Amino acid sequence: MRLDLFNNTSFSRGRPVWIETLWLFVQALFINSWIPGSVHRKLLLRLFGAKIGKGTFFKPGIKVKFPWRLEIGEHAWIGEDVWIDNLAKVTIGSHCCISQGVYLCTGSHDWSKKRFNLITKPITVMDKSWLCAKSIIGPGVTVNEGAVLGIGSLATEDLKAWWIYQGVPSTVMRERLLESK
Amino acid sequence: MRLDLFNNTSFSRGRPVWIETLWLFVQALFINSWIPGSVHRKLLLRLFGAKIGKGTFFKPGIKVKFPWRLEIGEHAWIGEDVWIDNLAKVTIGSHCCISQGVYLCTGSHDWSKKRFNLITKPITVMDKSWLCAKSIIGPGVTVNEGAVLGIGSLATEDLKAWWIYQGVPSTVMRERLLESK
Amino acid sequence: MRLDLFNNTSFSRGRPVWIETLWLFVQALFINSWIPGSVHRKLLLRLFGAKIGKGTFFKPGIKVKFPWRLEIGEHAWIGEDVWIDNLAKVTIGSHCCISQGVYLCTGSHDWSKKRFNLITKPITVMDKSWLCAKSIIGPGVTVNEGAVLGIGSLATEDLKAWWIYQGVPSTVMRERLLESK
């Protein structure tokens, strides 16, 4: 392992440096800030390329690496201090609850290679799922419809639709049965 | 699950909106700030309704959702970057050590309901217990006297008095035997 | 357990109070800040006593308790929001990757003592190891050469050279075999 030989020149950041830098300033002042308000966060994220459906809410303290690699459906909630570290695309469905302090990680490294090659993989969070507070999603994971990842838990593999997971790493706990009403 | 149908109108925030907003500003400037000093933090938390015993210390970087739902005994320590997310009452006893980065979570949702109803449950941390760094306490949990929750661990169920717990979710590890001296 | 009887007068902070206070200001403005740039971070950490090898990079949002108890080799990476809580010495080798959100904890307490005595133990992270995002290292741990601690995992015991660990607390998962090329 030789980090001096590392290069990520083949990694596309998707936007010129000046836009990424501008985003850092905008994020620090308006997105990651403690000031409440969802409207201006949604507006600025969209301005920098995020696709966000109607009725979706944003809390304070949020970080997004590349807004141009973020797509969120309708009526989703992005909680306080959520960190969307989207080197690769992050897609969040409709009616999803991403609770406070959740960390979405799309980047990794090939630990078998001397050059520690960068690996990025998208994350997909399907409709009606719930990532509870302080939970973590690893690169390449798909959270299928209605799945729940418990508080403080870690998902490094796909979560099945309408099942509840807990633990680090998480294991399946029980089925999520919705009342018919 | 339909987050557009969610309502928490039956949830009482305990204070008018203007006080909650004022608290957000005060918190950002003086409580959650990196500036050291316990005296002004204690003073401001009390001013907004917290009950805090003598000899209790506060470190920088703290967040408290509703100071008016916080009660702390004497000679307790609230560490750096502790987040007391007290939608419901949080009670911390005397001689408790709440270490850096601890997260106390009182809010949840009914995942079986279409409307994803808000559920809030109080947290009680009894005298002489220790929540180690970066540990997490879930809604409704009672940490009984002298219990210890290990670093990075999660408690979603009550911790027995004078036992040590570790893991996510935590399991009992060993008894906490104090030297007689 | 009587926190009013606690004293850490035997604990040496290594520098006069005014230097520690100055460091708090410098850290808040230039190290823990969201402003990108490694050069000024390295410069300031060295100015306050850290030993840092050439080719080592620092990301934004970093916290270091005592720079004068930090030693880092060459071509290491210190990621975003890494918290080096070094009451005791923290030594990080060359070609190490300390990913975003990692927490290095050197402080603990003797839970068997009424006075809750402070315990500090150094952390050593050997060359070519990788602490993945949001992982935690406890007091006294040695991460041996080339070891990997998985995302969101916790190490409270030494990690063997060239093995991969995961979980809270972490267990050994598999060997880290590097390609010969």
Q: Which of A55, A153, A176 sits opposite B111 (nearest CB)?
A: A176
Q: Please indicate whether, in this complex, the C-beta atoms of A113 and C166 are within 8 angstroms of each other.
A: no
CA distance A78 to C80: 21
Banded model confidence at residue B180, pLDDT cuts 50, 70, 90? low
Does domain C14-175 sit in CATH 2.160.10.10?
A: yes
Q: Which two tokens stand for residue B179?
A: 């030297």
Give the Å distances, CA to CA, from B84 to A31, B61, B105, B139.
Answer: 22, 11, 7, 12
DSSP type of residue C68: G
Q: Within a 10 A sphere around the Cβ of A37, how many other Cβ atoms?
A: 12
CA distance A123 to A171: 19
Q: Within a 10 A sphere around the Cβ of A89, how many other Cβ atoms?
A: 17
Q: Please indicate whether, in this complex, the C-beta atoms of A2 and C167 are within 8 angstroms of each other.
A: no
Q: Please indicate whether, in this complex, the C-beta atoms of C136 and B152 are within 8 angstroms of each other.
A: yes
| Neighbouring chains to A with at least 3 Cβ pairs closer than 8 Å | B, C
Contact residues on chain C for B134, CB-CB shorter than 8 A: 103, 105, 136
Residue A180: the pLDDT is 59
* Chain B residue nearest residue A130, CA to CA: B111
Residues of C with CB under 8 A from a CB of A: 34, 36, 55, 74-77, 95-97, 100-101, 128, 130, 132-134, 146, 148, 150-153, 164, 166-168, 176-179, 181
For CA atoms C25, C27, C33, C36, the dihedral sign is positive
Beta-strand (E) ranges in B30-176? 51-52, 57-58, 63-64, 70-72, 77-78, 83-85, 90-92, 97-98, 103-105, 107-109, 118-120, 123-125, 130-131, 136-137, 142-143, 148-149, 154-155, 163-167, 170-175
Banded model confidence at residue B159, pLDDT cuts 50, 70, 90? very high
- In the CATH scheme, what is the code of domain B15-173? 2.160.10.10
* Chain A residue nearest residue B153, CA to CA: A152
Residue B148: the pLDDT is 98
Question: Along chain A (181 residues), what's the average pLDDT of each consecutive run of 10 residues?
Answer: 91 96 97 97 98 98 98 98 98 98 98 95 98 98 98 98 98 91 47
Whether the full predicted model's pTM is greater than 0.90, yes or no, is: yes
- C-beta separation of C177 from C170 below 8 A: no
Residues of B with CB under 8 A from a CB of A: 1-4, 21, 24, 27-28, 32, 83, 85, 103, 105, 108-109, 111-114, 116, 136, 138, 154, 156, 168-169
- C-beta separation of C54 from C64 below 8 A: no
Residues of C with CB under 8 A from a CB of B: 1-4, 21, 24, 27-28, 32, 83, 85, 103, 105, 108-109, 111-114, 116, 136, 138, 154, 156, 168-169
Output the CA angle B30-C30-A81, nearest 5 degrees. 55
Q: Give chain C's residues under pLDDT 50.
A: 181
Whole-complex ipTM: 0.96
Contact residues on chain B for A102, CB-CB shorter than 8 A: none
- In the predicted structure, residue B137 carries a pLDDT above the cut 90: yes
Q: Domain A14-173 falls in which CATH fold?
A: UDP N-Acetylglucosamine Acyltransferase; domain 1 (2.160.10)
Residues of A with CB under 8 A from a CB of C: 1-4, 21, 24, 27-28, 32, 83, 85, 103, 105, 108-109, 111-114, 116, 136, 138, 154, 156, 168-169
- C-beta separation of C144 from C129 below 8 A: yes
List, in order, residues 6 or more apart from B3 with CB less than 8 Å away.
A55, A75, A76, A77, A95, A96, A97, B116
Residue C45: the pLDDT is 98
- In the predicted structure, residue B181 carries a pLDDT above the cut 60: no
Q: Please indicate whether, in this complex, the C-beta atoms of A1 and C179 are within 8 angstroms of each other.
A: no
CA distance B119 to C165: 36
List, in order, residues 6 or more apart from C49 with CB less than 8 Å away.
C15, C67, C68, C69, C70
Query: What percent of chain B has pLDDT above 70?
Result: 99
Where are the domains positioned within chain C? Answer: 14-175
List, in order, residues 6 or more apart from C36 with CB less than 8 Å away.
A21, A24, C59, C60
Q: Which two tokens stand for residue C126?
A: 């050997």
The beta-carbon contacts of C52-60 under 8 Å, at least 24 apart in sequence, are: C53/C94, C55/A3, C55/A4, C58/C31, C59/C100, C60/C33, C60/C34, C60/C35, C60/C36
CA distance B88 to A154: 26
Q: Please indicate whether, in this complex, the C-beta atoms of A4 and C177 are within 8 angstroms of each other.
A: no
- C-beta separation of B18 from B48 below 8 A: no
What is the DSSP annotation of A10-31? T---SS-HHHHHHHHHHIIIII
Contact residues on chain B for C113, CB-CB shorter than 8 A: 178-179
| Tens of pLDDT, residues B44-78 | 999 999 999 999 999 999 999 999 999 999 999 99
Nearest C-alpha of chain C: how many angstroms from A77?
23
- C-beta separation of A144 from A160 below 8 A: yes
Contact residues on chain C for B176, CB-CB shorter than 8 A: 111-112
Q: Which of C95, C132, C168 sits opposite A168 (nearest CB)?
A: C168
Nearest C-alpha of chain C: how many angstroms from B7?
33
